[in-house]
Amino acid sequence: MSVVRATALVDVPVATVAGAVVDVGTLGVRVDGGGLLYEGAEFSLVGRSGRVVVTRAGLGGVGVRVVADRSPEFWLGTDVRVTGAGVLVVHEVGWRQPRTVWERVVDVAFWRRIALRLLEDRAARVAKRIEELVEARVVVGAAVVRGDRLLVQQRGFPAEVAGKWELPGGRVEVGEDDRAAVVRECREELGVEVKARQQVGLDVPLKADLLLRVYAADLINGEPVAEEHQGVRWVRVDELADLDWLPADRVLVPALRELLSAQAGHP
């Protein structure tokens, strides 16, 4: 397999950088629909027969496989790494070389040019999205844990998302700290008191100028009541993948899995 690579060092929180990377708009490949890249997702290519398969997505970056007619299979990867000098962003585009010597002579230079253009476009899109997310408004989510279980709630409306699951949360008021917003939203939305802790996973892009930031929270007092939702439930780590999540929350499943595994004392 042949690979081309580009790197950038940015002075931006790693969660924000990872959020830019999972935005479909930064992929550099035209796909049907928009939204977010999450582990296991598949998208159809626009204008030709083929698909994009997401093999990994999270705080450490993303990896996708692009399969299309009349072209080699491509791999796109972006790794996000924290260093002492900032966050290192490493973009890679790889492709499988044709099999025969004659095909290699004819095609290798052509597909390398395609890969380089894709790499350049991807890097530029991610850099622009990082700048947008740094200035974006924030809504908070709460990963409320009790022992080895996570609290989730089921939407009752609007109709297009009814029945889907999400984490509690809501807006951050002017001048309000993110963690204070988590505590207030849980009190207003669920009737419980929580203690907000560290951020969980990446910043999830919701709109051009809006992102979701989730914090772990310990249940201190009260029993959750579905005041504004169809229902609430506590789930174990092995139930996370089976829930019909809203797209923004599904992106966080790997991070939520790590959170619950740590709570249960598992590696």
**Which stretches of the chain score pLDDT less than 70?**
97-106, 265-267
Q: Helix/strand/coil (H, E, C) string of the chain?
A: CEEEEEEEEECCCHHHHHHHHCEHHHCCCCECCCCECCCCCEEEECCCCEEEEEEEEECCEEEEEEEECCCCCEEEEEEEEEECCEEEEEEEEEECCCCCHHHHHHHHHHHHHHHHHHHHHHHHHHHHHHHHHHCCEEEEEEEEEECCEEEEEECCCCHHHCCCEECCEEECCCCCCHHHHHHHHHHHHHCCEEEEEEECCCCEEEECCEEEEEEEEEEEECCCCCCCCCEEEEECHHHHHHCCECHHHHCCHHHHHHHHHHHCCCC
Q: What pLDDT is attached to residue 118? A: 94
Domains for the chain: give ranges and CATH numbers. Answer: 2-134 (3.30.530.20), 137-263 (3.90.79.10)
CA–CA separation, 259 and 62 (whole Å): 20
Phi, psi dihedral angles at 204 (to 5 degrees): -95, 115
CA 248, 250, 255, 256 dihedral sign is positive
Q: Are 162 and 230 in contact (CB under 8 A)?
A: yes
Q: What pLDDT is attached to residue 267? A: 47
Q: Are 98 and 2 in contact (CB under 8 A)?
A: no
CA–CA separation, 76 and 93 (whole Å): 5
Q: What pLDDT is attached to residue 101? A: 52
Q: Are 8 and 85 in contact (CB under 8 A)?
A: no
